Amino acid sequence: LSSTPASTPSPTAPSGGAGSMFTSAPHPALRHGMPLAQNLRMFKQYVTSFDSRTRNPQWVLEHVSKSTSRGDGDRQGSKFFEDQDIPVRLRNRLDDFKGSGYDRGHLAPAANHGGSQEAMNETFSLSNMSPQVGKGFNRSYWARFEKFVRDLTRECDDVYVVTGPLYLPSKTRNGWTLSHPMIGQPPSMVAVPTHFFKVVLAEYDGEQGKKAQALGAFVIPNAEIDGRIPLSTWIVPVEDLEAAAGMQFFTSFLTPCRRHALAEAEHVVLDQLGRAGAPSKLLTDGTTVVSKPKKGSNTVAIRASPRGPGTEVLHLCERARCELVSEDWAKHFNSDNPPPQVDSDSSVVIDEDV
């Protein structure tokens, strides 16, 4: 486990034009350092960038494989803990969640890292946690989504996942407004995200022994979700998610050529779902929650469209059937894997994350 502040340019003057991040000579404004609001935290099998303004992870990046998820790890041997390498006034704290009504929701799930007790224990750091709605989300729909990602390792050698919170606005008579709850006590409060995203990059054996990749992005409201709603409802184009999240994903992999190929694959998938004309309605229409499945919204078997040899990247749902396990699975999993810690002064179970 190591901790570093988010990478910052050295205190030198720009050499590549106004506002350049590339530097060559000392910059007088940076004599006493620059403000820091993010901490890059490196754990055994995941990395998180913790945002001290919202006291949530900005993103969590994990590597999942058969070996990382299967082993002797037991969540009953784990305990939630505050990240001591983040100053107490800037981090989320155990007390923030007490009586809040929100779960301490893992962004890198504990079950993804059961290969060792050490790796599983590290997922219980609060720098890997965001406030999540419990009933109908963290303990059911979101848990089933995490299970879908984990099951990709059955046919894919390596799965890389970026998960993070979103704070999306809603439209009112006076224009766009951002509104979300806060927990804890001023001035060190924790923001409750309106949505969460996952960007999933799966690697598998392709033609002629070469590695092939499939990628997909999803955005789900932090709310009670009807378990009958298909996972495909939440597919969004990666570049639209990047615009909403303010960050780029898998920058070493998504070259311009691969971005073009992915955009074509996303169009193929969204066209089959009848959403080609409004691919990012979830991101552009605000925080409206899909509370019930639409008529005829059963799971669609997405077909990979022929795009010629050497296609750079498929959409994840062309490679894997984007279906969730049954709702009963989450009930059985939660009963077989009770949370390792429950607040003694609250009747609210504050984490049953998988």
Which residues are identified as catalytic?
Answer: 106
- Token pair 């407004």 is at which residue? 177
Residues contacting 226, CB < 8 A, separation 6+ = 136, 290, 291, 292, 293
In sequence order, what are the beta bridge partners of 172? 175
Q: Decide: 131 and 103 in contact? Cβ < 8 Å.
A: yes
From residue 40, give the alpha-carbon distance in Å to each of 4, 89, 123, 244, 320.
5, 17, 15, 21, 32
- Cα distance between residue 210 and residue 72, in whole Å: 32
- Cα distance between residue 178 and residue 287, in whole Å: 9
Per the rule left: phi > 0, alpha: psi between -120 and 50, beta: everything else, 300 is beta
Residues contacting 306, CB < 8 A, separation 6+ = none
- Cα distance between residue 124 and residue 78, in whole Å: 7
